[in-house]
Amino acid sequence: MSQSPSSNRVTFIILRYMRRPIMVLIAVYAISMVGWILIPGIDGEGNAQHLSFFHAFYFLTYTVTTTGFGELPYTFTDAQRMWGIVSLYAGVIAWFYALGSILSLVQNADFRQSLAERRFAKGVAQISEPFCIICGFGNTGALLTRGLSDVGMTVIVIDKNNERIKTLILRDYRAQVFGLCADSRIPEHLIEAGLLKPNCKAVVALTKDEEINLKITVTARLMNANVWVATQSTSEIHEETLAALGSNVHIIDPFQTFAKYLGAVVRNPAIHTLNQWLAGTPGTSLDEQLPVPKGTWILCGFGRMGRWIRDSLEAEGISTVVIEPNPSQHDDQIPNLFVGRASQENLLRAGIEQAAGIVAGTDHDSENLSILLNAKALNPEIFLLVRQNRYRNQLVFQAARADFIMVPALVSARRILFLLLAPLLKPFFETFRRQDGGSDKLVLSNVMEQLAATIGSSQPVLLTVDAGGASALLSVVESGQEVTLGDVLTDPTDRNRQIACVALVIGSGNEQKVMPAPATTIQPCDQILFCGTPAALRVLDSTLNNEYTLRYLITGVDEPRGHVMQWFARRHASRTKPT
């Protein structure tokens, strides 16, 4: 195995810093040894005696270690003792010089960075399970890392801020998380992070600079065409470039995503309840719903978020009024636009007293909280939707008791997490979004009732199963035996009972079936999205990878498993066979 670039850098830095001290030490001890060999001593009989090379080396060795075994092989003469003084002091000075160089080397930032990269590369090389590379450990990156760790996926984080990388050690992740302080734009660092490894499942670009996100995405796509790539982008120019990279590249715009989601929630509030419940939001119950009023809404802040929300609300037949302190030239054509801050005076001018809802969507959390307090003071019954820019301000926004808190980092992280771990959730929710107002509420309510009856109050877990990747399922299906969803969801301890798990979507390619019936037959190329309790999903995984258990659930016959028991079964069958 060839050395990594970081290993070569470590060797180069060591040689650069230690070359001169090592040469000084070698020169000092070489001259000292020559002197010991040339200066004559006197043996016990008064004859001249020269030290051998070995004796000279041995003497210098134990004096370097300050052991001090004595004079050898005979008592030294004054000339030898004088040379000993010179060589010992010279050696001490040389060692002080070398130790100073070593301390300077250890404190060198380049050396420590290269050493950290080498340790990082060695750790990544030992990863055998699927892992995800996250470039940028801001709010979104931290939330996504937590979500991936909770489901047991190994995560590799790259960020230029060393303080953020240090915090990885302090967090209690369930899975292993590696961190590298480096510029993720550089292809070398992505390679060190495992981009070219076959078990690299995804690369996610979440830096604050969209130009950097674009470069990371292009680099990852060109160097590994099979890797799943997601990037956060709100620029139309960047989106055009990213869209040309292929279907395996996913562009996440938190404002567009949230605006579409808000429109769906306006149409059917149950979608928000189900989404929160599937995401595992604490305190969420399938019985609770968030009613969103459909009167006039006031949009405070008409940036990227405000524009997307305005389009989404007007698509649902909701009129809007905009308050913006710095409108652009294109905003002059927008009706009901008030220029200025969202003060109480401007809120009254915008009709806050009759408005159904208000969106505090500026870039500053303090401004959004101020808008929220002013709106509550002028209209206590108004629906409050507020944008929380910094995740660390969570407690303050919760204390403000807004009806809907939009956190861009959480929107992006949850979107990427669902696309990566449960891609079939997208057609699942789109099925209900496409339906008309009267029918979708009835269908979705039935789905939620089924989930509540099957899973209960337990924390739901999503699991995507590839039929081709489940060894027992694939073996049984390829043998010609029919397997249905009802078979795999049966409890192995009681065939009359179903485990606490529901199949949400089954399909292959572009064909998906939402909430399939238990009698649906599973094909080798199918993907299935299950939702259930952690215990039920462990049972399901065991069933899909244990052929004896799966055949028992299908036929009701517990077949013998060992060779001896199979021989007895065949022997018994032959004896009982009628003649």
DSSP-based three-state secondary structure for 298: strand
Are 483 and 550 in contact by the 8 Å Cβ rule? The answer is yes
pTM for this prediction:
0.79
In this predicted structure, what is the pLDDT of residue 241? 63
In this predicted structure, what is the pLDDT of residue 33? 92
For the chain of 579 residues, list the mean pLDDT of each consecutive stretch of 10.
59 83 92 92 84 88 80 85 90 91 85 84 90 94 93 93 89 91 90 92 92 89 90 69 69 91 89 88 81 90 90 92 80 79 91 93 92 93 93 88 92 92 88 62 80 87 85 88 92 91 88 90 91 92 90 79 55 55
**255-387 CATH fold:** Rossmann fold (3.40.50)
Other CB atoms within 10 A of residue 490 CB: 24
Tokens 């459909």 sit on residue: 294
In this predicted structure, what is the pLDDT of residue 67? 77
- Spatial distance between the Cα atoms of 504 and 531, rounded to a whole number of angstroms: 7
Other CB atoms within 10 A of residue 73 CB: 11
Which sign does the torsion angle of CA 19, 20, 22, 23 carry?
Answer: positive
DSSP-based three-state secondary structure for 189: helix
- Spatial distance between the Cα atoms of 395 and 34, rounded to a whole number of angstroms: 75
Which CATH number is 127-252 given?
Answer: 3.40.50.720
Name residues whose C-beta falls within 8 Å of residue 490's C-beta, 6 or more positions apart in sequence: 497, 498, 499, 553
Residue spans of the domains in the chain: they are 5-109, 127-252, 255-387, 456-563
Are 178 and 120 in contact by the 8 Å Cβ rule? The answer is yes
In this predicted structure, what is the pLDDT of residue 46? 80
- Spatial distance between the Cα atoms of 80 and 390, rounded to a whole number of angstroms: 75
- Spatial distance between the Cα atoms of 2 and 7, rounded to a whole number of angstroms: 10
In this predicted structure, what is the pLDDT of residue 335? 80
Are 490 and 544 in contact by the 8 Å Cβ rule? The answer is no
Are 551 and 545 in contact by the 8 Å Cβ rule? The answer is no
In this predicted structure, what is the pLDDT of residue 561? 60
DSSP count for the chain of H helices, then E strands: 23, 20
Tokens 């004859």 sit on residue: 47
Which class does domain 456-563 fall in? alpha beta
Q: What is the DSSP letter of 519?
A: T
- Spatial distance between the Cα atoms of 494 and 145, rounded to a whole number of angstroms: 38
In single-letter form, the type of residue at position 285 comes to: S
DSSP-based three-state secondary structure for 401: coil
What are the φ and ψ backbone dihedral angles of 249, each rounded to 5 degrees? -110, 125
- Spatial distance between the Cα atoms of 238 and 487, rounded to a whole number of angstroms: 47
The reply to whether domains 127-252 and 255-387 share a CATH topology is: yes
**5-109 CATH fold:** Helix Hairpins (1.10.287)
The dihedral over CA atoms of 393, 396, 400, 404, expressed in degrees to the nearest 10, equals 30
